[in-house]
Amino acid sequence: MAGRSLSVHSSGCELANSPSARERAIYKRILLKISGEALMGADECGLDPAALKTIAGEVAEASHLGVEIGMVVGAGNIFRGLSASELGVDRVTGDQMGMLATVINALALQDVLEEAGLPTRVQTAVIINQVAEPFILRRAIRHMEKGRVVLFAGGTGNPFFTTDTAASLRARQIKADILLKGTKVDGIYSDDPLKNAKAQKFDRLTYLDVVDRQLKVIDATAVTFCMDCQIPIRVFNFRQPGNLQRILKGEEIGTLITS
């Protein structure tokens, strides 16, 4: 990658900013889930170029630590299947529209990630051969082993499942060490902290805590699936610059969900 320099050591040459020459990440492979809303910045809908570039920068920093990265992005900036009924659209059709919206977001992210110097592939559960690869697990893992970021679009390919659930499924399939969910708040609270100043922040929760308390920051189906597969989840503020990199280095940021 441009900007890398070689330094000579007694054991030979290595890249001066390679993971072996810098602080290493504590994870080998992660699944990063971000909402569609993160892509629209301060706008009410659509895609914001500044927000996209910020996301690309954060992911690039994570990749430079030597972490293999899979990503799932939502579609709330374009269309929500759950809102389809308000338009008189059947829920199944609405969810299919939402799946296609995730493909649009993934293609946008692919462009900005590659502008940031990261080779990227989009794989989708909804077959659109002209614009993206179909989801093929072995191919996805091979891409990540080669240092490519893989964007998993199209949800699970089925209606009635959220992109949170798609993220938990992909995390299990690629054998991710952790599922990281980037949000606009700094973890999980007892109530919406943007509406209730007295809401309590949790540093750690069990999977059952999240389900029993009906904490809405992450889909309950995704939580129970991760519980069955013993995949830890960390919810954190993705809008805070550097948070992703700090988590990968082992800092306790946001809320950790485990057994």
- For 217-249, how does the pLDDT look when each residue is reduced to its tens digit (9 = 90+)? 899 999 999 999 999 999 999 988 999 999 999
Q: Encode pLDDT of 176-202 as tens digits.
A: 999 999 988 899 999 888 788 889 999
What pLDDT is recorded for position 9? 37
The average pLDDT across 210-219 equals: 91
Phi, psi (rounded to 5 degrees) for 215: -80, 120
What per-residue confidence (pLDDT) applies to 45?
81
pLDDT at residue 150 greater than cutoff 50? yes
Residue 62 clears pLDDT 70, i.e. is over it? yes
Q: Binning pLDDT at 50, 70 and 90, where does residue 22 land?
A: low
* Residue 81 confidence (pLDDT): 62
Block residue for tokens 């110097």: 117
Q: What is the mean pLDDT of the chain?
A: 88
Phi, psi of 228 (to 5 degrees): -60, -35
Determine phi and psi for 168, rounding to 5 degrees: -65, -40
Stronger pLDDT, 119 or 51, i.e. the higher one: 119
Query: Is pLDDT above 70 for 2?
Result: no
Which superfamily, per CATH, for 24-258?
Acetylglutamate kinase-like (3.40.1160.10)
Quickly count: other Cβ atoms within 10 Å of residue 257's Cβ. Answer: 27
Higher pLDDT, 79 or 241: 241
> pLDDT-based confidence at 100, cuts 50/70/90?
very high
- Pairing relationship of beta strands 12-15 and 6-9 according to DSSP bridges: antiparallel
Radius of gyration of the chain measured on its C-alpha atoms:
18
Q: In the predicted model, is pLDDT for residue 96 greater than 80?
A: yes
82 confidence band (pLDDT: 50, 70, 90): low
The pLDDT of 60-72, averaged and rounded, is: 95
Question: What residue ranges do the domains of the chain occupy?
Answer: 24-258
One-letter amino acid identity for 220? A
Find out whether 79 and 68 touch, Cβ atoms under 8 Å. no
- Provide mean pLDDT across the span 7-18: 40
Residue 145, pLDDT > 90, answer yes
Check residue 208 and give its pLDDT: 96
Nearest Cα to 164, choosing from 27, 35, 58? 35
Residue 187: closest CA among 210, 220, 171, 168: 210
Q: What is the mean pLDDT of residues 86-99?
A: 88
DSSP secondary structure letters along 140-200: HHHHHHTT-EEEEESTTSSTT--HHHHHHHHHHHTT-SEEEEEESSSSEESS-TTT-TTPP
